Structure 1
Amino acid sequence: MPPDPDRPDEPLPEDPEPAPDTPDPDGLELARRIARQVNAGTPAPQRPPRRKRRRPIEPMSSGARPDDRDPQPIGDVLRRMVEERGWRTDFDVHALIARWPELIGPSNAAHCRPEAYEDGVLTVRTSSTAWAVQMRSMAPAVVARLNEQLGSEVVRRILVKGPDAPSWSHGRLRVRGRGPRDTYG
């Protein structure tokens, strides 16, 4: 029977506790009762306080002497990186090609140009056979000067090639012959 709202002094009926034999459909009440029984008998175990891991103390500043953490000049950083990665030879070869007229002189550079570099051998192409002969005779002195100016033993030998001869064959058919002879070296 529902309570009458017109009679305020009438006590409200309380919900009867479920009988222990009747299971709770979701098991929530059973879990609460077990938890109350467990907590009522024994005090909660005390955990030891957590210890913080100590990291090694690193100084905030490097001190009186220079350190890797200090700002460093960009030239020193780049030089160290080039050495660590093995780019020294590549940089020296590019410097040689960029400074070619300065290293061998403007008149020689007008008739000789660096064409390739591989394993210490610099290949130079000349504008005529006369310049090829001249460059072959100067090759040891040029090697010494290049290595002196670059500061390392980059070039061990110079291979001098004469001018590229034009192709005299045109079309599909060919005639065997001796060619243009000494016109192009």
Structure 2
Amino acid sequence: MSETPSDPPAPRGSDIARQALEAARAAAKANGKAVGHGRASVVRRPRRTRTWSSARPDDRDPQALGALAASLAKSRGWSTKVDEGTVLGRWESVVGSDIAAHAQPTTLRDGVLAVTAESTAWATQLRLMQSQILGRIAAAVGHGVVTSLRITGPAAPSWRKGERHVSGRGPRDTYG
């Protein structure tokens, strides 16, 4: 089979693309749009100089989840609850391992942190260190979260037995 000279050759892919580009330019020109030919008419933006991320974090690096959670809590108004949870949840890192080994926080209401010591001696020691403990808490979570401490010793055993009892000194007068 030989091709007759009257049949035009089949268009190639680049010819089809060129024809489509010319048709698009003609349609844009008909709509009043400025159309240029070639790369000279392309609006060039100033080229951003490429800077590489360094060892220090910058705005192009992935952000820490903690920073995202902090900004979310701040935008929703949860900051005070998060700070209160930090005091109770990270007690050992806030006040130190020595104090945390002998005292535990129990409640935090209206800026008053209730702390229970393991002995009366530790309760006395914590009362003497109260300003230092408040300073550590303020440094860890911010000022105003905890305004005062209510330090108590361990619960003493109750000598009160039964529904009916006699008021007075109790069993101390029977030892002896």
TM-score tier (shorter): 0.5 to 0.7
Structure 1 stretches of 5 or more lacking a match? 1-63, 65-71
2:90 aligned to 71, 93, 99, which one? 99
Find the aligned partners of 1:180 and 1:97 in 2 and give their Cα distance: 39
Structure 1 residue 149: Cα displacement: 1.7
Letter in 2 for 1:85: R
CA deviation string 1:82-125 (max 9, x = no partner): 11322111111111112212222222212211011111111111
Partner of 1:176: 167
Aligned counterparts, 1:132-171, within 5 A: 132-171=123-162
CA deviation string 1:102-153 (max 9, x = no partner): 2222222122110111111111111121111110010011101111022443
**Matched position secondary structure for 1:170:** coil
- Superposed CA RMSD: 2.4
CA 1:180/1:82 → structure 2, altered by over 3 Å: closer, same or farther? farther
Aligned-pair identity (%): 39
Find the aligned partners of 1:99 and 1:180 in 2 and give their Cα distance: 42
More helix as a share of residues = 2
Structure 2 stretches of 5 or more lacking a match? 1-47, 49-61
Aligned counterparts, 1:1-185, within 5 A: 73=63, 75-179=66-170
**Matched position secondary structure for 1:163:** coil
- From the CA coordinates, give the structure whose radius of gyration is larger: 1
Partner of 1:55: none
Find the aligned partners of 2:102 and 2:69 in 1 and give their Cα distance: 35
Partner of 1:10: none
Q: Aligned residues, how many?
A: 111
Letter in 1 for 2:113: L
TM-score for the superposition, normalised by structure 1: 0.53
Find the aligned partners of 1:126 and 1:167 in 2 and give their Cα distance: 18
Q: Which moved more, 1:129-138 or 1:78-87?
A: 78-87
**Matched position secondary structure for 1:115:** strand
TM-score for the superposition, normalised by structure 2: 0.55
CA 1:156/1:180 → structure 2, altered by over 3 Å: closer, same or farther? farther
